[in-house]
Amino acid sequence: MRVIWAFIWSFMLVHMMSYVISSMTGGIYDFKQASIFSVVLAVLVMAIAAVIPNEPVEQH
């Protein structure tokens, strides 16, 4: 379920960011490019989450 939500949130946030930035700069909104970037972002977020340890710290 975490994977699905990671893809959904990255899809929505990247498309929103791409649309706003392209509108502000006068460029063209490219759905395909934003979709590719959202998949890359979701994979990167899941990789970072897998690397970070879940165990509590024993000594502070």
DSSP 1: -
Q: How many folded domains does the chain comprise? A: 1
36 belongs to a structural domain: yes
Q: How far apart are CA 23 and CA 1, in angstroms?
A: 33
Does the residue 23 lie in any domain? Answer: yes
Look at residue 46 and tell me if it is in a domain: no
Q: Is residue 53 part of a domain?
A: no
pTM across the whole model = 0.79
What is the extent of the structural domain holding 25?
Answer: 2-40
Give the separation between CA 49 and CA 3, rounded to whole angstroms: 11
48 lies in some domain: no
Which letter, b or e, does each residue of 36-55 get, where b requires 16 or more Cβ atoms within 10 Å of its Cβ?
ebbeebbeeeeeeeeeeeee
Which tens digit of pLDDT belongs to each residue from 1-56?
888 999 999 999 999 999 999 999 999 999 999 999 999 999 999 999 999 988 88
